[in-house]
Amino acid sequence: MKQLFTKITTLLLALLVMFSTFSFTVAKHYCGDFLVAVSYVGKADTCGTSVVKNTCETVLKKKKCCKDELSQIEGQDNIQKVSLQKISFDSVKLFIAFNTFYTLFFQEIEQEKAVYKQYFPPDFKVNFQILHQVFII
């Protein structure tokens, strides 16, 4: 059980480190105040209301109701390893206290089961089935 818990914890921590270093971009397309499209990979799809002919008059008369928004989420760039010189005496005391607490309260105690291989039942001088008139049919 302890080995399984250790393996699961190791896997989760490795995934946490891996995903914390990823960077990705979220592209959103709004028409008015409504969110129309979201894309995590490339450019978000438009709603199809773009004007094909752009003359000076149409540009001045119409305001754009659509807008694109890009959100970039950046991960960590550097991962530092803790050297032995940075460990303080307080962290060592905390580790010793935790280890002592864990071994005292959560250590499994193995109990030996008593096995009686040479146990012989006592001999009865009276047959109880006949005495109580109980017969298996």
Per-residue pLDDT of the chain (137 residues; tens, 9 = 90+): 888 999 999 999 999 888 878 888 889 998 888 888 888 887 777 776 654 555 455 544 556 788 888 888 887 777 766 666 666 777 788 888 988 888 888 767 777 777 777 877 788 888 888 888 888 87
Distance between CA atoms of 6 and 33, rounded to whole angstroms? 49
Residue recorded with tokens 């864990």: 102
In a domain, 30, yes or no: yes
E strand segments, 11-57:
24-31, 34-39
Tell me the residue range of the domain where 26 lies.
1-44+65-76
Q: What's the pTM?
A: 0.39
Q: Looking at the domain assignment, is residue 115 inside a domain?
A: no
Phi, psi of 19 (to 5 degrees): -75, -20
State how far the Cα of 115 lies from the Cα of 43, in Å rounded to an integer. Answer: 73
In a domain, 19, yes or no: yes
Do the domain assignments include residue 8? yes
Locate the DSSP E strands across 6-129: 24-31, 34-39, 66-73
Domain total of the chain: 1
